[in-house]
Amino acid sequence: MAVSSVFDFHFPADHADEGVNLAFSIGADMPATRGYVRHDVVRDLADSGHVAVITQWHEQAQGEAVLKEYLNDPKIDRATKLAGGKAPAGFLGDVM
């Protein structure tokens, strides 16, 4: 069963552009990862600093591995600093 991983970022307006670029960079890393199906980077129309990377995986274990790996990625570290120390929320879910 396919699953999705979601990284949800909230950047202040003065860091929104760099934050969105980081989100695109994270998404661009995913196709080389085992089990990758597809991904989208979604920006909130009402809040330019709110962006999510939504990635679909063939299996739950593959999505879990990516979430675990990216918790220590330099891009996540930078995103956390841009967001004033608040790490992005990440979770794995069923594709419905």
Domains belonging to the chain, first-starting first, are 3-86 (3.30.70.100)
| Rounded distance between C-alpha atoms, residue 43 and residue 53, angstroms | 9
User: Mean pLDDT across the stretch 72-96?
Assistant: 88
Residue-wise pLDDT for 32-44, tens only, equals 888 999 999 999 9
Residue 38 has what pLDDT?
93
Q: Residue 96 pLDDT more than 80? A: no
When pLDDT is cut at 50, 70 and 90, the band that residue 65 belongs to is confident
When pLDDT is cut at 50, 70 and 90, the band that residue 90 belongs to is confident
| Rounded distance between C-alpha atoms, residue 95 and residue 70, angstroms | 21
